Chain A
Amino acid sequence: MTKKTTQPKILFGLDTFGDIPTDKDGKLMTHAAAIRQVVDEAVLADKLGIDVISVGEHHREDFSISSPETVLAGIATKTKNIKLASGVTVLSSDDPVRVFERFATVDALSSGRAQIILGRGSFTESFPLFGYDLKDYEILFEEKVALMAEVLKEKPVTWEGTTRAALNDADIYPKTESGRIHTSIGVGGSPQSVVRAAKYGFPLMLAVIGGSPDRFVPYVDLYQHAAKEFGTSSDEIGIHSPGFIADTDEQARRIAWPAHKTNFDRIGRSRGWPPITREHFDYEIDHGSLYIGSPETVAKKMAKTIKTLGVMRFDLVYGGGPMPAAAREHMIELYATKVIPRISELLAEKPDGKK
């Protein structure tokens, strides 16, 4: 792993699937209100100087966002600086040409702030919905990543494969002003996905949703080795992990626990794992990949991960489960005004603790 001596600028982002928050009376919001809530939160994040907002793609009752770029378009015209990313775009069940068209449109609306994070997604509910067969899981992603890499060059594309119609010298519009939409690949723990990202020279986003982040150190190494072998660049690695911030550790756990449990158990029911215990939740906060606590606690934990993995970007997945909207907004304020500045301080410190 390359340890850089001067600290380059780290990007800090927020990431959401559009979980349904609760309102002032503790009632679940509608899907539509949940989407407007995300737009408001992105506007707040932009005002406070947060670098990126990523919105995920899901097709389930518990998440409101199934069409990330439409939400990003809504955010685009109301914000100035914040980057607008998908997290992730489920490419296997989408069409790379249309993905490009939609993001290029967001890029136009936002004057160049659109970003794509491609992934396979940890849920596959989009497959039956859009008429894809899970048996083709591998080939769909492999082929579509290859086509996406071509389309992103913004030159006429000639392509042939098995998963969509061939393209013959097809030019795709609108063109972006910069000539390139920033596009990363999100990966979980599969080494071959890391190699694939390096092969196409896509920046890497590590999705670390449980367990100790240290175990991804070899994946960072792998990405760099693979990039060298393929002759692509490999300087951009980010991480995305779930978290929640409140004024105190106690408050943060008290608010996050029921929401997290609802979220986790609902997913668990469909996957056949038993309900999460409070012990496991606390363990993930203390030793794993839940960044939950006071600004100081979360800043320390994030700084440690950033150092250990040498990542350049950290997207904190916020608002998991039915959480009060006000608590989400307060979290964003704390993240921007307390956590991020504190992480910069911590990263500037020498190992012996001195400045």
Chain B
Amino acid sequence: MAKNNKPALGIIGAGKLGVTLTRLALKAGYTVYIAGSGVASKIELSTKVITPGAVAVTAKEAARRADIVILALPLGKYRTLPVDALHGKLVIDAMNYWWEIDGEDEALKNPASSTSELVQAFLPGSRVVKALSHMGYHHLHDEARPKDTPGRKAIAIAGNRVADTVTVAELVNDLGFDPVIIGNLASGKKLEPGNPAFGANVDAATLKTYL
């Protein structure tokens, strides 16, 4: 545990989504370890300027030092994740299959399960929850609001263990959104590209009508 008794966050992926989530988490008082694809020095400067207060590390280090790890890298790269360092961690999968980045990947394009279940299978020692994947990063940036703000936007959460989804719900709330727990990890499929909830930047009541 880090400051304010809030769990320490690791964010793997220091691009559009990773940086946006880091900003929101710092504002909410979390300790954040952020990582890109390579050595920490590659993202040190951008971290210092764009997300001052966050600690630039490697993916392995982010996984090791954090209580909760958010995956904000291209889905096509999930097989590079540090499986051992993620063992025992709560992992939030915010990734989507995006053919323009990930290429035409049959396994990701038409998986038998949800893509989060593929990630869970790759990380057998971790508890994977899908969240923070359906809203565009600029909406995440612009729409974060304090709890109880009328019209506050919602983020859907899918996971197999209730306790984990509740932990993620607290984080989502701290970041500035109303959490909506939609069911088990398989139900995260409803949040994937091509479904009505994908891209959703709406309040909780409206989001539920999409699911």
Distance between Cα atoms of A280 and B195 in the complex (Å): 18
> Known: A135-B103, A190-B15, A192-B14. Is A212-B198 also a contact (CB below 8 A)?
no
**Closest approach, in angstroms, between the C-beta of B42 and any C-beta of chain A?**
7
State which residues 178-202 of B face A: CB under 8 Å.
Answer: 192-196, 198-201
B16 within 8 A of A: yes
B39 within 8 A of A: no
B107 within 8 A of A: no
**Chain B interface extent, by class:** 35 or more
CB pair A195–B46 under 8 Å, yes or no, is yes
CB pair B49–A271 under 8 Å, yes or no, is no
A272's contact among B45, B101, B141, B198, by CB below 8 Å, is which? B198
By a CB distance below 8 angstroms, the chain B residues around A123 are 100
CB pair A124–B36 under 8 Å, yes or no, is no
State which residues 159-211 of B face A: CB under 8 Å.
Answer: 192-196, 198-201
Which of B25-33, B85-93, B114-122, B132-140 sits within the interface?
A: B132-140
B19 within 8 A of A: yes
By a CB distance below 8 angstroms, the chain A residues around B142 are 211-212, 215, 287-288
CB pair A273–B199 under 8 Å, yes or no, is yes
B98 within 8 A of A: yes
> Known: A124-B101, A212-B138, A272-B194. Is A189-B19 also a contact (CB below 8 A)?
yes
Distance between Cα atoms of A190 and B20 in the complex (Å): 10
Interface flags for B106-150 (1: CB within 8 Å of A; 0: not) read: 000000000000000000000000000000111101100000000
State which residues 1-39 of B face A: CB under 8 Å.
Answer: 14-16, 19-20, 36-37
CB pair A134–B101 under 8 Å, yes or no, is yes
> Known: A189-B19, A191-B15, A273-B199. Is A222-B141 also a contact (CB below 8 A)?
no
CB pair A210–B138 under 8 Å, yes or no, is yes
CB pair B49–A225 under 8 Å, yes or no, is yes
By a CB distance below 8 angstroms, the chain A residues around B201 are 280
**Closest approach, in angstroms, between the C-beta of A137 and any C-beta of chain B?**
7
Distance between Cα atoms of A164 and B102 in the complex (Å): 22
By a CB distance below 8 angstroms, the chain B residues around A287 are 142
Distance between Cα atoms of A211 and B194 in the complex (Å): 22
**Chain A interface extent, by class:** 35 or more
CB pair B136–A210 under 8 Å, yes or no, is yes
B81 within 8 A of A: no
A229's contact among B42, B45, B138, by CB below 8 Å, is which? B45
State which residues 196-255 of A face B: CB under 8 Å.
Answer: 210-212, 215, 218-219, 221-222, 225-226, 229
Closest to B141 in A: A215
> Known: A134-B102, A191-B19. Is A218-B36 also a contact (CB below 8 A)?
no
Closest to A134 in B: B103
By a CB distance below 8 angstroms, the chain A residues around B138 are 189, 210-212, 215, 288
Pairs of residues from A and B, 3 with the lowest C-beta to C-beta distance, nearest first: A272-B193, A211-B138, A134-B103
Chain A interface residues toward B at CB < 8 A: 122-124, 128, 133-135, 137-138, 188-192, 194-195, 210-212, 215, 218-219, 221-222, 225-226, 229, 268, 271-274, 280, 287-288
Chain B interface residues toward A at CB < 8 A: 14-16, 19-20, 36-37, 42-43, 45-46, 48-50, 76, 96, 98, 100-104, 136-139, 141-142, 192-196, 198-201
